[in-house]
Amino acid sequence: MAELTNIRSPRVKAARRLAKRAFRDRDRAFLAEGPQAVREALAVEGVTVELFATADAEVRHADIVAAAVARGIPVHRSSGEVMTELTQTVTPQGLLAVCRFVHVPLPEAVPPGARLVAVLAHVRDPGNAGTVLRTADAAGADAVVFTDASVDPYNGKCVRASAGSLFHLPVATGAPVPDAVRHARQAGLRVLAADGTATRTLDEVDLSGPTAWLFGNEAWGLPPELLELADEVVRVPIYGRAESLNLATAAAVCLYASARVQRQSLYPVEHPPTPAS
């Protein structure tokens, strides 16, 4: 395989421009960087368009490269200079995939019967958004909704922060917050807004039913007009002296609190297991 060394080659330039949202939207494609993201992208049929890999990465991640080849996906051996040009990290890991958009329409992401959904309202930091996506995946959520004023889920930092979870659960994008909330309620979910000024805490709210959590901006949270959309406003209790929690941490606490209560109601433990002798 000839090594791709020219950073000005059409193939490299076409991939590099996907770092910008305008080109991502035009081409309906984005970059997934690193072995974890690439592996998860390859696991979804028809998502990965092409793969760039350094010679070293071909050896270290031979299973990933072999999976791409087996699926008929073009693999371009790339020099370190080309990989540095394509990636957005200080120390590239040698693997980068061009992927097709994976988001789905809101009704498909949040159908009747969904039990746990995260709705991001005006969330602007891609690292936070990707972490919430990863946490929602880990908590067993049914979907994550990126509303129209939130960061692009295909932003490179967001994709990296999701650690592959972008490819695991339905993601909807672009709906105005009121539309997302209205649809969640029509799908049978109760809408809870997470806000540090709320009078009631997670300890005081019934979390057993289907729930859509509404999370706001990192700096100013949820404005009054969005809080009014929720069925109830809830805060994470702070037992120590910390002034507040950041968005990703608060979202993790809320999502896991719901997941724990829901799982207990769905799978009650009637007889605790006998301790091993």
> Are 64 and 145 members of one domain?
no
The reported pLDDT for the residue numbered 277 is 47
> Are 177 and 215 members of one domain?
yes
Looking at 100, 120, 155, the residue that finishes a domain is 100
Instruction: Give the global pTM.
Output: 0.91
DSSP secondary structure string for all residues of 160-218: HHHTTGGGTS-EEE---HHHHHHHHHHTTPEEEEE-TT-SEEGGGS---S-EEEEE-BT
DSSP secondary structure string for all residues of 228-247: TTSSEEEE----SS-S---H
> Are 55 and 181 members of one domain?
no
> Are 154 and 61 members of one domain?
no
How many residues are given for the chain? 277
> Are 171 and 258 members of one domain?
yes
> Are 92 and 115 members of one domain?
no
Rounded Cα gap, residues 65 and 56, in angstroms: 12
Tokens read off for 266: 């769905």
CATH number at residue 47: 3.30.1330.30
Segment 127-142 mean pLDDT: 97
- Provide the residue range defining the domain that includes 140: 106-266
> Are 189 and 124 members of one domain?
yes
Q: In the chain, how many domains are there?
A: 2
Q: List pLDDT tens digits, range 200-246.
A: 999 999 999 999 999 999 888 999 999 999 999 999 999 999 988 99
Rounded Cα gap, residues 8 and 91, in angstroms: 21
Q: Classify residue 275: in a domain, yes or no.
A: no
Q: Classify residue 211: in a domain, yes or no.
A: yes
